[in-house]
Amino acid sequence: MTYNILPQKSINIQLVNSLVQIIRSLSQEERHLLEKELFFEDSEPSTQELMQLAVVGNAFDFLHNEPDIYTNEDGEPV
């Protein structure tokens, strides 16, 4: 095999070759488990993604125009 390696990147060829050897030595069951772990895709959105969705989706815009239902005379003095 030949690889087109870009000069600005440092690649640990020895590590890659060792990993390839290890992977090839795995049983089918072990390879399947490894694939499940490596290619696991979390379908749950991250906290950051949820926050972005709330902002972009205008979900909380109603909070900007809350009615002023309290006055200075409400409640007890502190």
Q: Are 26 and 34 in contact (CB under 8 A)?
A: yes
Please write the tens of the pLDDT for every residue from 19-53. Answer: 999 999 999 999 999 998 888 777 788 899 899 99
Domain coordinates of the chain in residue numbers? 12-39
pLDDT band at 2 (very low <50, low <70, confident <90, very high): low
Confidence (pLDDT) at 46: 86
Question: pTM value?
Answer: 0.40
Instruction: Pull the structure tokens for residue 66.
Output: 């809350």
Please write the tens of the pLDDT for every residue from 56-78. Answer: 988 888 888 888 888 878 877 66
DSSP assignment letter at 72: T
* Closest to 2 in 3D by CA, of 13, 10, 47: 13
